[in-house]
Amino acid sequence: MYFLAYLLTGIIAGTLGGLFGIGGGIIIVPMLMVVLPQVGVSAQAVMHVATATSLATIVVSTARSAYIHYYNKNIEWALFRHIIIPIMAAVIIAVIIAHHINEAMLIYSFAALLLFVAGRTFFKSQQSDEVKQSLNYSIKIPIVSSLLSAFSCMVGVSGGILLTPYFNYCGLSMMKSIGTVSVCGMVIALVATITYALLGTNLEHLPAWSVGYIYLPAFFGVIITSVIFAPIGIKLAHRLPVPQLKKLFALLLVIIAIKMIA
């Protein structure tokens, strides 16, 4: 029965991710937080397990996306090389911090992210596919990118929802921003997943079939269906009244955020 819940989580995350162009972690984390306590994950570990498992699924989904963008030449490799080492270091530090801080702080942080995404989803985006200025490869970009990536991996998302608008703001076209973020997100999720797996080794309060904080039944269940349903969500985006649906989706995110912190 629980594996069916993981399959359903993947269906919802994949479909909504494709429909609205958001990362699946936004949906995967809160849904796993509902299911995981039922399979024996203790209250003190449920957010960590949901976060780590979400990131593990994101490794697979972003790898597929990164390949597509690589094939279409949508990745700004100069920017990627400029920021990736600081990002990797920041992600490792952030996961270590998340491992030691109070579970409630992670929940509040995730709720804040949900509210941010809800606001961006509800109001018309000002992002543009036109290059507004030439990229200036100063120290500011890797610093800000590292901070955004660190926060993202602490709450179980790959960073796309934060890095994409930032890269676009810095002057990269929207298509190039999305493509570059796809490969950055794959690295962020991979480094965070490995770190969570190592930090959770031999912890007694984790369920069987776990690799560190990564709960394998949930990982495989989500991956199986999310990979299938993400393209379906993309196709639906061309047929459904997405602007109206986005407002309902934003309201749903607000409700989830309030539910998490209530």
- pTM equals 0.85
Rg of the chain's alpha carbons, rounded to an integer? 17
Instruction: Specify the 3-state DSSP secondary structure of 134.
Output: coil
* Selection from 1-10, 130-139, 211-220, 231-240 with the highest mean pLDDT: 211-220
Query: Could you give the dihedral angle defined by the CA atoms of residues 27, 219, 186 and 231, in that order, rounded to the nearest 10 degrees?
Result: -60
Lowest mean pLDDT among 75-84, 119-128, 226-235: 119-128
Whole-number percent of the chain with pLDDT over 70:
94
Q: What is the pLDDT of residue 257?
A: 86
CB burial readout 209-222, b (16+ within 10 A) else e: ebbbbbbebbbbbb
Q: What is the pLDDT of residue 8?
A: 92
pLDDT higher than threshold 60 for residue 126: no
**Mean pLDDT, residues 196-200 taken together:** 93
The interaxial angle of helices 46-71 and 103-122, nearest 10 deg, is 40
* Average pLDDT over all residues of the chain: 86
pLDDT higher than threshold 80 for residue 230: yes
DSSP string, 115-128: HHHHHHHHSPP---
Nearest to 236 by CA among 23, 19, 16, 21: 19
pLDDT higher than threshold 90 for residue 218: yes
Question: What confidence tens digit (pLDDT) does each residue in 62-108 have?
Answer: 888 888 888 889 899 999 999 999 999 999 999 999 988 877 888 88
Alpha helices in the chain (DSSP H): 2-20, 25-35, 46-71, 77-100, 103-122, 140-154, 160-170, 174-199, 216-237, 242-261
H/E stretch holding 215: strand 214-215
**Mean pLDDT, residues 194-210 taken together:** 88
Q: What is the pLDDT of residue 19?
A: 75
**Which pairing describes strands 210-211 and 214-215: parallel, antiparallel, or unpaired?**
antiparallel
Question: What confidence tens digit (pLDDT) does each residue in 130-183 have?
Answer: 555 566 667 899 999 999 999 988 888 877 788 888 888 888 888 888 889 889
Phi, psi values for residue 40, rounded to 5° = 100, 5
**d(C-alpha 223, C-alpha 8), whole Å:** 11
